Amino acid sequence: MASPSDLREWIALLERERELHRVTVEVDPDLEITEITDRTVKSKGPALLFENIKGSKHQLLINQFGTERRMCLAFGVDRLDDVAAKLGNLLEMTPPQGLVEKVRSLGKLKSIADSMPKDVSKGACQEIVLTGDDVDLDALPIMRCWPEDPAPFITLPAVITRDPSTGVRNVGMYRMQKIDRRSTFMHWQIHKDGRADLLASPDGTIPVAVAIGLDPVTAYSASAPLPKHIGEFMVAGFLKGSPVELVQCKTIDLQAPANAEIVLEGTVSRDDVGLEGPFGDHTGYYTPAEEFPIFRISAVTMRRDAIYPSIVVGVPPAEDEWLGKATERIFLPAIRMSVPEIVDYDLPTAGAFHNCVIVSIHKRFPGHAKKVMYAIWGLGLLSLSKSVVVVDAHVDVHDYEQVFFQVCANVDPKRDVVLTEGPLDQLDHSPTLQSYGGKLGFDATAKGADEGARDWPPPIRMTDAVRELVDARWAEYALPAPDVGVSGKNGPGRGGSRQSVRR
Ligand SMILES: Cc1cc2nc3c(=O)[nH]c(=O)nc-3n(C[C@H](O)[C@H](O)[C@H](O)COP(=O)(O)O)c2cc1C
Ligand SMILES: [Mn+2]
């Protein structure tokens, strides 16, 4: 299964797979679409294509990423772990020994070379070019998501910048509050690469291109927390198996994906700022108004009948759940490169991704669990994690009931809880200071005398002989079939939805 080449192919695939519902009656992008979408997401319903939107000629796609199945369809895989395996295979490349291995490595290297974005001279995203006074964001069906949002927000953009010192391209997903027909805010937070590009600019101004309406893998890549020097479009090309094609923008010196539905071109300046927000965010709360730079738009280019994609975040679970879960799975091999003792990890959706990390490890020495906590608090955007729970290798980190048992049973709060401090998500409202505060670690692994514990008792387990005996005699007891899958998992429905993601 190849992943779709643009948004239209993706919509067609969703429709063939009965994963799309077309809404033909007129709906209001002011709050109404949010309520419809939120109900659909929370009941694991289909992607929605709104064909008739009040005040706009454009169709709006939403909930394209709302389930694990659709996320797998987007990547052309059966399980998200298959995407991780592909990346892990590449990362674990060692110097080749024999001839056969050399040839195989060449293949892998070629797949990296083939993943680099490719310049093309024409793109569907430039069928219509509007500049100057013709730029009009009012024409797009931009949603106002929640009642206390002051304006509509573009919520699914791929924001393209370039590091002024190195020339390296960055792509990030940063919401954009509409200000008027020709400007928006640019909500890149303090830890993000787009903001770093602006700060590195010698004259305080950088060109910015915003691609809206991409194939799902390229759209996902904008949300991927990659190290700054690694290009999101290169990773998208690698995951898709074909390069992202880029066209030269019309009014700025940047390139944008040729397959985009819509591209906004413009500039952002350090001194040109205003109060952005509040916004009903993925934290489940409104993030308060705060100063952010303004994006001044010099051109809008688009397809003739451009489709506008959107996403609603809010109290979890929301549609961004599976974008986050894709990142959780895809980054496991990369995390293991630096912290190889990690067996698996889970970022609970209810923890809004940065509030809690559960991690299982092969424990080998005293203080090992603490070493892993500090490693996580030092790794990319995982460094913003507020709490870390470390369990032994045999524990299923995706089974929250099991994890809760381990924490309750194995933790002496005086000995096994780490309370420290460090950087936190800029949007987290709970710390006293913004972006900085407390961190909590639970060492829920088994401890021995070398860690100040008494003899650790053996866990309870039936002998294999008796288990086999009962297996063999099960029918004789004439018991009703046990209701497997209901107990022990993460509550009805939730646990089941994770089955295929599990390792
Ligand atoms: C739907 C969605 C909306 C997001 N909105 C923002 C945002 O407004 N500001 C922000 O800094 N990050 C936002 N993020 C997270 C970033 O996209 C993510 O941290 C990404 O790694 C940023 O790219 P960068 O690492 O190149 O800066 C959002 C993610 C998703 C999935
Ligand atoms: Mn980046």
Residue 109 in this model has a pLDDT that exceeds 90: no
Whether the CB of 223 sits within 6 Å of ligand 1: yes
Question: Smallest Cα–Cα separation from 205: which of 231, 191, 186?
Answer: 186
In three-state form (DSSP H/G/I as H, E/B as E, the rest C), the secondary structure along 66-91 is CCHHHHHHHHCCCCHHHHHHHHHHHH
33-42: average pLDDT: 98
Whether the CB of 187 sits within 6 Å of ligand 1: yes
C-beta of residue 48 within 8 angstroms of C-beta of residue 23: yes
pTM of the model: 0.94
223 C-alpha to center of ligand 1: Å?
5
194 C-alpha to center of ligand 1: Å?
10
Q: What is the Cα–Cα distance from 41 to 33, expressed in whole angstroms?
A: 12
Average pLDDT, the chain: 93
Return the best residue to mutate from 161, 176, 192 for the ligand 1 pocket (most ligand atoms within 8 A of CB). 192
C-beta of residue 131 within 8 angstroms of C-beta of residue 298: yes
What does the pLDDT look like over 220-273, one tens digit per residue?
999 999 999 999 999 999 999 999 999 999 999 999 999 999 999 999 999 999
Cβ neighbours of residue 220 under 8 Å, at least 6 residues apart?
A: 65, 74, 236, 323, 326
The pLDDT, as a whole number, for residue 94 is: 66
Whether the CB of 172 sits within 6 Å of ligand 1: yes
Return the best residue to mutate from 174, 188, 291 for the ligand 1 pocket (most ligand atoms within 8 A of CB). 174
502 band by pLDDT with thresholds 50, 70 and 90 = very low
95 band by pLDDT with thresholds 50, 70 and 90 = low
Whether the CB of 178 sits within 6 Å of ligand 1: no
Which ligand has an atom closest to residue 224 CA? 1
What does the pLDDT look like over 257-316, one tens digit per residue?
999 999 999 999 999 999 999 999 999 999 999 999 999 999 999 999 999 999 999 999
According to DSSP, residue 481 is labeled P
What does the pLDDT look like over 424-474, one tens digit per residue?
999 999 999 999 999 999 999 999 899 999 999 999 999 999 999 999 999
